[in-house]
Amino acid sequence: AIRMTQSPSSFSASTGDRVTITCRASQGISSYLAWYQQKPGKAPKLLIYAASTLQSGVPSRFTGSGSGTDFTLTVSCLQSEDFATYYCQQYYSYPWTFGQGTKVEIK
């Protein structure tokens, strides 16, 4: 199975900050990568797929980039509702796998 490793595991930030989360695949996955946001007690929400395509309804402050093994999720201007845990997911090969998550906390 392809292992997805996110960094950092958690960090603190302030509203208005630009933040970047990294996801690395254990082997090349082209652009078959998605990002999800999860808030406590809720299901994950799809933000981005195909590494950089914004899901309908997701604010444009979220951007994804990368291909191959290294990917990033950037939030250009952090809002209060963005404090959450973010997960990457590869769908290049079975079994589809997720990263361990990155928790973005309020500083």
Partner 1 sequence: QVQLQESGPGLVKPSETLSLTCTVSGGSMSSFYWSWIRQSPGTGLEWMGYIYYSGTTNYNPSLKSRVTMSVDTSKNQFSLKLSSVTAADTAVYYCARVYSSSSTVFDYWGQGTLVTVSS
Tell whether residue 37 is a contact of partner 1 (CB under 8 A).
no
Residue 99: CB minimum distance to partner 1, A: 8
What residues have CB less than 8 Å from 19, skipping those under 6 apart? 11, 13, 74, 75, 78, 104
91 binds partner 1 (CB under 8 A): yes
Judged by CB under 8 A, does residue 49 bind partner 1? yes
Q: How many CA atoms does the CB half-sphere of 76 hold within 13 Å? A: 6
86 binds partner 1, rule: CB under 8 A: no
Residue from 55, 67, 69, 76 touching partner 1 (CB under 8 A): that is 55
